[in-house]
Amino acid sequence: MMRRDLTCPKCGCGQLWNVRTMREEGGVGVPVDLAVTLEEGWQLVPKGRYETLVCRACGFTQWYARDLDGDTQLTSVPHNCPECEAMREFWHVPLVRELGTTGHPTGLKVMRKGIPKLWGEGHFETFLCQGCGFTRWFAHGLDMLEPSPLSGLFVLDEGTCAACASSHRWRIETMTEVGDLGIVPLHVLLYAGALFYHAIGKFGTAVCRDCGFTEWFARDYGRLRHAPRRGVSLLERSARAEAGPYR
C-alpha cells in the first residue's frame, strides 16, 4: 500500500508528497488543523489531525489520521487494514465535521448544489485504523444526485469501486469547505503567510453510487515543493529510510 511501499496503487509512481498536516479555513482568520473529530461538551474539543500522501504523478491521495488518544468518544469496529495487512480495530467517525464561519462546527459536504438543484449535499463518515491511521471515507445522502457539469458533478465512466467493484460512480470536480468569507476549495496545502493565506492545490473525488466509498485525487498541485519546515516532504521509494517520517 501507499504508506508501507511508498508506491501509488493507481499508477505505480514511487514519488509521493507527504503533507504532514491538513488544514482548513476555520472562520478565525488563520488556517487551523482539520480535526478528525470535533467532540462537544462544555466546550468544543478538536481531536486528532490528518496527513496525506499525494502521488506526484497522478494525484491519487490517501488520508491518515494521527494524534488520537484513548480518551476519544469514538466507538471502534474491526476492519481489515490493507496497510497493516491484518484485522485491526478502527475508530468510527459517523459524521465528519469542519469549522465553519466564526468557528462553529458544520458537516463537511460531499457536494454543493447549484440553483435550482433539489438534491441533498451529503455527508461523510470515516473509519480510521488505530494502528497506522489508514482512513477510509464513505459518502452518504446522495440518492437524488444527477449530473450537473455547472456544479462540477459528472458520471465517472471508467474504473470500478475499490470497495465493492461497482462501476457506478460520481466524479466530483472540487471538494469544498466553509471558509472565512464563504465556500472555498479544500486545499492540498494551506498555510499562513505574513499577511495572507497561501494555498496550493485542490481535491476532486470519485464516489461510488452503490456503497459510497470515496477516493480522493489532488489536482493543481504542481507548485508543491519539498519543504519539511512547512510540513511538506517528497518521499521517494528508492530513498526510503528507517528514520523517515514513517519510522
| Tens digits of residue pLDDT in 134-151 | 999 999 999 989 999 988
Categorize the per-residue pLDDT at 126 as very low, low, confident or very high, splitting at 50, 70 and 90: very high
Q: What is the mean pLDDT of the chain?
A: 90
69: exposed, middle or buried (Cβ count in 10 Å: 0-12, 13-18, 19+): exposed
pLDDT of residue 24: 94
The residue ranking higher by pLDDT, 238 or 140, is: 140
CB 159 within 8 A of CB 168: no
Categorize the per-residue pLDDT at 241 as very low, low, confident or very high, splitting at 50, 70 and 90: very low
- Per-residue pLDDT tens over the stretch 49-99: 999 999 999 999 999 999 987 778 899 999 999 999 999 999 999 999 998
pLDDT of residue 239: 52
219: exposed, middle or buried (Cβ count in 10 Å: 0-12, 13-18, 19+): middle
Bridge partners, residue 47, by sequence: 37
Q: Which of 69-73, 101-105, 154-158, 236-240 has the lowest mean pLDDT?
A: 236-240
Complete DSSP assignment for 79-129: EEETTTTEEEEEEEESS-EEE-GGG-EEE--S-PPPTT------EEEEEEE
Q: What's phi and psi for 237, nearest 5 deg?
A: -55, -40
Report the alpha-carbon angle 121-124-127, nearest 5: 170
pTM of the model: 0.92
pLDDT of residue 194: 67
